[in-house]
Chain A
């Protein structure tokens, strides 16, 4: 293990899952630690904060949501939660409590690794790039312009702001709440219908095929994501 390897804390009480995750994460170059309970997870994070945490929502001594809340009290450590179909409400609570992204069980290794990469990169590039390129889209954040296949596309200021927030977090889930807060400001966090209308317009302008979006991905009931690679 190289000394610069990033450390990931896996919190799950299912030994078989932890075994599998250890193999997958080590193979991808991470250093892996594991905790089985909420208590143990919080102890490990406070003793020596890892670079990222993969957190199961159901733990023997409580919910992963509480771990998110407590960790967010003192650390911006990236957190990816593991959720299951039927846990949607718990998942949303975890995201509201500060989790950065989620994968739905059962998940493939590529999916988990992509999410981890996105949340870790976000951390490394706190101020964002001036220019973000995704497939045929070139987003110039400083100049506030977007091009597709080299042709400039006109977006309204609000549409550009939405795109900017997604581009700053590319590949990563951005929740409805977060988007509304960053673009409209405090007090608008539950006006999700604003997003429906604006995203429909943005897709009509940015997507080659608006009915089958390649860039602006909906995470049903949770938020949106700008695809990393197409």
Chain B
């Protein structure tokens, strides 16, 4: 492997440099002793070699110190102790001096080397500590992204952004199956069980493979936690949807049994009344109109239930075609008038509103419900107002009544099925739910604005579509 070859070369060079330093130092010490030879007894001058040993111990460690000591003893013996230029020793006093020098050199070397190791250990510990601190910052950032919640996409984006920020843009995550191929980058896989991904360090940022591996594991775990969180919350949302559907179904069943039964009872009672033996013409007409009216009510309730069930099953399937909202409102007004009598309706719709793409029959149901609702809650004689226009890329039709208004606390729930005004007006309680369902299925929106004691306005809006080519 190339890395190992390099390492071996580096070590060789270090050994060579050390050897040269040892030789040089010993040579220097020898020179110094030679200069001072006349001034002091030679055994005392051995101390100069001690300095050489000390120097090498500090600079190069124990082995270099030992080598220096041995070389020093040999040099001292060879150059300065009688007989000179021989490695034999004639005086026993000199032997003692040499041995003492050797022992002292070894001990000093050992002490100096230990001190040096301690220092380098401390330095490494400090480096590690600062790396840990950096890792901790990065991981804390990532963890807080996950703890902040939100959808999975957002959490993963936050992790990536946090990582870049907390590493001064040295690191990035790449959530892809294949490792990214940026030249010079150090790349390690994230240890995530749910998502393939890679932790990359920008070229020249000084992050080693080990540094990255230390981070890759906890980062991978955090990504798994984010996935797990998403799974749990989507399950919770499903459970909540199921619960709400159940509540809605129960309400539906309850309402059906109650709302269907009362017109049925009225009809059977009236039919029974028609069989009475002495029946005036007036009574007979009365009974017949009860049957008519209550049958109508039943029929509308059944239509409403059908619409609500289509909306709840998201089976609205609008048949989109170009529709004129003014036309839709007009035909709705005609059918509402036919049912509820001639209540005043004020039209203030500009001519030539843009056509919208919608289902004409469903639009008619929407405006019939809104108008009927407005008429029910209007004081007798007060006109219901239909206005509209275009603005902000939308075409809007408003149906406004001068009724009592809807208190803010109840405004959110009026679009829920079976929410009725509390004034005892008769309606299925489904009208506004149907309006919202149909409007939204046709790509529009419905909003309500209400001022207590002044009235309520429902605004139906559709985006202005590109208009079709003009008629030929």
Q: Which residues of A contact B (CB under 8 A)?
A: 85-86, 88-89, 105-106, 158, 184, 188, 191-194, 196-200, 204, 209-213, 217-222
Decide yes or no: A211 and B349 within 8 Å by CB, A106-B295, A200-B327, A220-B363 being known contacts. yes
Decide yes or no: A196 and B324 within 8 Å by CB, A85-B306, A220-B363 being known contacts. yes
In the bound complex, CA of A192 to CA of B320 (Å) = 11
In the bound complex, CA of A199 to CA of B471 (Å) = 11
> How many Å from the CB of A9 to the closest CB on chain B?
25
Q: Which residue of chain B has its CB nearest to the CB of A197?
A: B471
In the bound complex, CA of A89 to CA of B321 (Å) = 13
Q: Which residue of chain B has its CB nearest to the CB of A214?
A: B334
Q: Which residues of B contact A194 (CB under 8 A)?
A: 471-472
In the bound complex, CA of A105 to CA of B300 (Å) = 10
> How many Å from the CB of B289 to the closest CB on chain A?
12
In the bound complex, CA of A158 to CA of B324 (Å) = 19
In the bound complex, CA of A209 to CA of B363 (Å) = 21
State whether B330 touches A211 (Cβ < 8 A): yes
Q: Which residues of A contact B330 (CB under 8 A)?
A: 211-213, 218
Decide yes or no: A221 and B361 within 8 Å by CB, A86-B306, A211-B349 being known contacts. yes
- 8 Å CB contacts to A: which residues of B319-340? 319, 321-324, 326-331, 333-334
Q: Which residue of chain B has its CB nearest to the CB of A86?
A: B306
State whether B334 touches A212 (Cβ < 8 A): yes
State whether A85 touches B470 (Cβ < 8 A): no
Q: Which residues of A contact B313 (CB under 8 A)?
A: none
State whether A217 touches B347 (Cβ < 8 A): no
Decide yes or no: A197 and B295 within 8 Å by CB, A86-B303, A86-B310 being known contacts. no
Q: Which residues of B contact A213 (CB under 8 A)?
A: 330, 334
Decide yes or no: A106 and B347 within 8 Å by CB, A199-B327, A200-B326, A217-B331 being known contacts. no
> How many Å from the CB of A227 to the closest CB on chain B?
10
State whether B334 touches A184 (Cβ < 8 A): no
A-B contact pairs, 19 of them (CB 8 A): A85-B303, A85-B306, A86-B307, A89-B319, A193-B355, A196-B327, A197-B470, A197-B471, A200-B327, A204-B351, A210-B351, A211-B329, A212-B333, A213-B334, A217-B331, A217-B334, A218-B360, A221-B361, A221-B364
State whether A196 touches B347 (Cβ < 8 A): no
A-B pairs, top 9 by smallest CB distance, nearest first, are A211-B347, A193-B322, A194-B471, A221-B360, A220-B360, A220-B364, A85-B303, A221-B361, A193-B468
State whether A106 touches B352 (Cβ < 8 A): no
Q: Which residues of B contact A (CB under 8 A)?
A: 295-296, 299, 303, 306-307, 310, 319, 321-324, 326-331, 333-334, 345, 347, 349, 351-352, 355, 359-361, 363-364, 386, 467-468, 470-472
State whether B472 touches A220 (Cβ < 8 A): no
Interface centre among A194, A198, A199, A204 (most CB of B within 10 A): A194
In the bound complex, CA of A186 to CA of B347 (Å) = 37
In the bound complex, CA of A200 to CA of B354 (Å) = 12
Decide yes or no: A211 and B326 within 8 Å by CB, A85-B303, A192-B321, A220-B331 being known contacts. yes
Decide yes or no: A221 and B327 within 8 Å by CB, A85-B303, A196-B355 being known contacts. no
Q: Which residues of B contact A198 (CB under 8 A)?
A: 471
Decide yes or no: A218 and B347 within 8 Å by CB, A88-B361, A184-B472, A194-B471 being known contacts. no
In the bound complex, CA of A219 to CA of B364 (Å) = 10
> How many Å from the CB of B384 to the closest CB on chain A?
13
Q: Which residues of A contact B351 (CB under 8 A)?
A: 200, 204, 210
Decide yes or no: A88 and B331 within 8 Å by CB, A184-B472, A196-B355, A211-B347 being known contacts. no
> How many Å from the CB of B434 to the closest CB on chain A?
11
Q: Which residues of B contact A193 (CB under 8 A)?
A: 322, 355, 467-468, 471
State whether B328 touches A220 (Cβ < 8 A): yes
In the bound complex, CA of A199 to CA of B306 (Å) = 32
Q: Which residues of A contact B303 (CB under 8 A)?
A: 85-86
State whether B364 touches A200 (Cβ < 8 A): no
Q: Which residue of chain B has its CB nearest to the CB of A92?
A: B319
State whether A200 touches B360 (Cβ < 8 A): no
> How many Å from the CB of A171 to the closest CB on chain B?
16
In the bound complex, CA of A65 to CA of B294 (Å) = 31
In the bound complex, CA of A106 to CA of B294 (Å) = 12
Q: Which residues of B contact A210 (CB under 8 A)?
A: 351
Q: Which residues of A contact B468 (CB under 8 A)?
A: 191, 193
In the bound complex, CA of A200 to CA of B333 (Å) = 16
State whether A196 touches B310 (Cβ < 8 A): no
Q: Which residues of A contact B364 (CB under 8 A)?
A: 220-221
Q: Which residues of B contact A204 (CB under 8 A)?
A: 351
> How many Å from the CB of B321 to the closest CB on chain A?
5
State whether B321 touches A221 (Cβ < 8 A): yes
Interface centre among A86, A105, A209 (most CB of B within 10 A): A86
> How many Å from the CB of A202 to the closest CB on chain B?
11
Q: Which residues of A contact B386 (CB under 8 A)?
A: 211
State whether A106 touches B363 (Cβ < 8 A): no
Q: Which residues of B contact A89 (CB under 8 A)?
A: 319
In the bound complex, CA of A42 to CA of B104 (Å) = 128
> Contacting B471 at CB < 8 Å: which of A105, A158, A209?
A158
Q: Which residues of A contact B363 (CB under 8 A)?
A: 220
> How many Å from the CB of B460 to the closest CB on chain A?
15
In the bound complex, CA of A86 to CA of B355 (Å) = 24
> How many Å from the CB of A185 to the closest CB on chain B?
10
In the bound complex, CA of A204 to CA of B321 (Å) = 22
State whether A218 touches B327 (Cβ < 8 A): yes
> How many Å from the CB of B390 to the closest CB on chain A?
15
> How many Å from the CB of B368 to the closest CB on chain A?
10
State whether B352 touches A200 (Cβ < 8 A): yes
In the bound complex, CA of A104 to CA of B398 (Å) = 28
In the bound complex, CA of A218 to CA of B303 (Å) = 21
> How many Å from the CB of B326 to the closest CB on chain A?
7
Q: Which residue of chain B has its CB nearest to the CB of A88?
A: B361
In the bound complex, CA of A89 to CA of B317 (Å) = 10
In the bound complex, CA of A212 to CA of B330 (Å) = 5
Q: Which residues of A contact B467 (CB under 8 A)?
A: 193
In the bound complex, CA of A197 to CA of B326 (Å) = 11
Interface centre among B306, B322, B359, B363 (most CB of A within 10 A): B322
